[in-house]
């Protein structure tokens, strides 16, 4: 496999459920990101990991919990979400976390919170 | 605040030329990206500009004027497959990437 792979592609969950989104990159990159994409809104950066350490957390509610066990894998654990959290969640990777390099995105996980 | 402005939607005809504008107000500037995103797919890199001028890459060109806080993406010889959203993003002085909301381009036969 190549590139950035996200699973699941679609997820429907209730507000009391616990679920996780998974991201895997096969590019040998050192930085990984979670973005939230809502219709007609700019991409919102949620978390940045560089060499498995979290380097940025943009005031994201604690109901979103990231995990980066190694440089190739990134998870987003979801718990007691709200309907306004329904969106496309995009994972991305890059060679370095300083925003000057090209981002490689996965196809996203479309989340619907009922 | 920091802001990136792009038109929400544009329509163009197959075979024609279209210019998608992006204006930005950010705290400093360290480069500008354009990404393409087809519906239901990942955004993919199109271009990067850090110096003023035009960068050409096949049918696509990107222009930057730092003094005007302005960029455009020029698409020539439009094809149906160019129907997509085009995202403009600017790197500010803190090396944060500031994104526009994207321009949905509709190509008609």
Smallest Cα distance from A18 to chain B, Å: 25
> What is the tens place of the pLDDT at every residue in B7-31?
999 999 999 999 999 999 999 999 9
- What pLDDT is stored for residue A1 in this prediction? 54
Percent of chain B with pLDDT over 90: 94
Smallest Cα distance from B13 to chain A, Å: 23
Q: Backbone dihedral region of B15: left (phi > 0), alpha (psi from -120 to 50 degrees) or beta?
A: left
Pairwise pLDDT comparison (A15 vs A84), residue with the higher score? A84
Q: Identify the bridge partners of residue B49 per DSSP, sorted by sequence position.
A: B32
Q: Which two tokens stand for residue B55?
A: 């960068």
Q: Which two tokens stand for residue A70?
A: 């190694």
A2 — pLDDT class (breaks 50, 70, 90): low
- What pLDDT is stored for residue B1 in this prediction? 76
pLDDT at B107 over 70: yes
Q: Which residues of B touch A (CB under 8 A)?
A: 4, 8, 30-31, 33, 35, 40-45, 48, 87, 89, 91, 95-102
Instruction: Report d(CA B44, CA B38) in Å as an integer.
Output: 9
For the four alpha carbons of A64, B26, B46 and A70, in that order, the dihedral sign comes to: negative
Q: Which two tokens stand for residue A81?
A: 């979400």
Mean pLDDT in residue range A60-88: 95
Best residue of B42, B62, B94 to probe chain A, by most A CBs closer than 10 Å: B42
Strands B70-75 and A4-7: unpaired
Task: Report phi then psi at A84, rounded to 5.
Answer: -70, -5
């Amino acid at each position: 496999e190549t590139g950035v792979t996200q699973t699941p592609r679609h997820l429907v969950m209730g507000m009391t459920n616990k679920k996780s989104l998974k991201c895997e990159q096969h590019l040998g990159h050192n930085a990984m990101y979670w973005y939230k994409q809502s219709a007609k809104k700019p991409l919102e950066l949620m978390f940045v990991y560089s060499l498995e350490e979290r380097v940025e957390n943009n005031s994201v509610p604690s109901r979103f919990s990231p995990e980066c066990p190694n440089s190739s894998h990134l998870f987003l654990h979801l718990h007691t979400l709200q309907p306004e959290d329904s969106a496309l969640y995009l994972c991305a990777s890059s060679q370095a976390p300083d925003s000057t390099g090209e981002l490689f995105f996965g196809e996203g996980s479309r989340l619907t919170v009922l | 605040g920091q802001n990136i402005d792009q038109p929400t939607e544009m329509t163009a005809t197959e075979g024609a030329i279209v210019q998608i504008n992006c204006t930005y107000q950010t705290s400093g500037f360290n480069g500008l990206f354009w990404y393409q995103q087809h519906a239901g797919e990942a955004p993919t890199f199109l271009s990067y500009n850090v110096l003023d001028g035009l960068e050409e890459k096949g049918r696509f060109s990107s222009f930057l004027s730092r003094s005007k806080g302005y960029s455009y993406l020029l698409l020539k010889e439009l094809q149906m497959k160019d129907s997509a959203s085009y995202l403009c993003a600017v790197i500010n002085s803190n090396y944060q990437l500031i994104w526009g909301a994207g321009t949905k381009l509709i190509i008609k036969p």
